[in-house]
Structure 1
Amino acid sequence: MNNLGVLCEFSAKPYIALENYQESVALYCEFYLQGNQSLTDDIYRGLNNLKDICDTLSAHQDFTNVLRAQITIAETWEKLLSVNSDFQSQTAIAQGRLAWYALFAQQFHEARTAALRALELDPDGVWVNTNLALAELFLGHEEAAKEIYLSFKDKPFPGDQTGRTFREVFLADMDELASKGITAPAFEKAKKWLQ
């Protein structure tokens, strides 16, 4: 299934590739959960292929299917985490990415839930607050969003090689969503909070 997904992806058939990748990951995960730990590399390969297809579908602005792929990734990591705590970091990252893609699919409750789960798994993964703040804005929870923006705006964004602050990332994320036609009435308020 995974190889069929690769073939479909290279044949410019991303939707068929997505289905094959999802099916292969589900099968590998099922066998892993039954005790066949030798499939770890196959699971990683399948999850990486799903991550890559997210990029392809995102370029086509098909955020519904990007979200489908990312849900599969996050759910798979959650299942793996249930039997092996070594997967906590990967699960937190997958939930953080799910929160980001859920914003583009305009699934704001899903974005908030995923961001909170990511922070629960990795409280040091503060980068997820960028997604959480946006989810709160879209859900009309302005005070919660404001608290996040004010708490983080002047702090350096972790892992950013250019030295950006959270403020710059917060604003860039709003701009990226707006460029796809996804805005919230509170964006202007948030931009004032970030001054």
Structure 2
Amino acid sequence: MLSLGWIAITYLLGAVPFGLLVAKVCCGIDPRLEGSRNTGATNVARLCGFKYGVLALIGDLGKGFVPVLVAGMFSQSKVFLGCVALAAVLGHVYSVFLNGKGGKAVATTVGVFLALAPWSTVISALLLVVVVLASGYVSLGSLTLVTVLPILLVVTGEFTLALFAALIGVLVYWRHRDNIARLAVGEEKPWRKAH
């Protein structure tokens, strides 16, 4: 019962739309109506400025990292921890506070796996940064991260976590399907110009 209760609490924490809160409170903008119309840190940074994007990023990272870290204090079951991670990401993507809508889950994914497999996550995140700097496309960097992460987890012997990373990766790909279509035809805009 404790495990199921924590998974439910984690979903609710994951559902808190930090990007929306930061944008509305700090600059009076609803990111669902402007820019890429996404509540994530990238759109908040475009609309409100870099520091507010970082604030939204920290919120989205934290709501993945903290619940998984706490879960690890009372259980070492990789299946349970993977379910907690999945709950945080599902909360972000399908937020009960946003009528089942939400963000693209990249920051929250980084947060949960920082708690579960820090080195694999850091390497994947560094690759994200390299791809974004080289290409200008946050979406391409994000897809790189969720592609590389499960591979690194397999290499390091974390097969159960790799399965959850792959499941979350499929969800992130699905949430980026419009970006993928634009990338395929050369119509995706670099993050500084994606309005």
TM-score (norm 2): 0.35
TM-score by length of 1: 0.35
Indicate the structure whose relative CO is greater, using CA pairs within 8 Å and at least 6 residues apart: 2
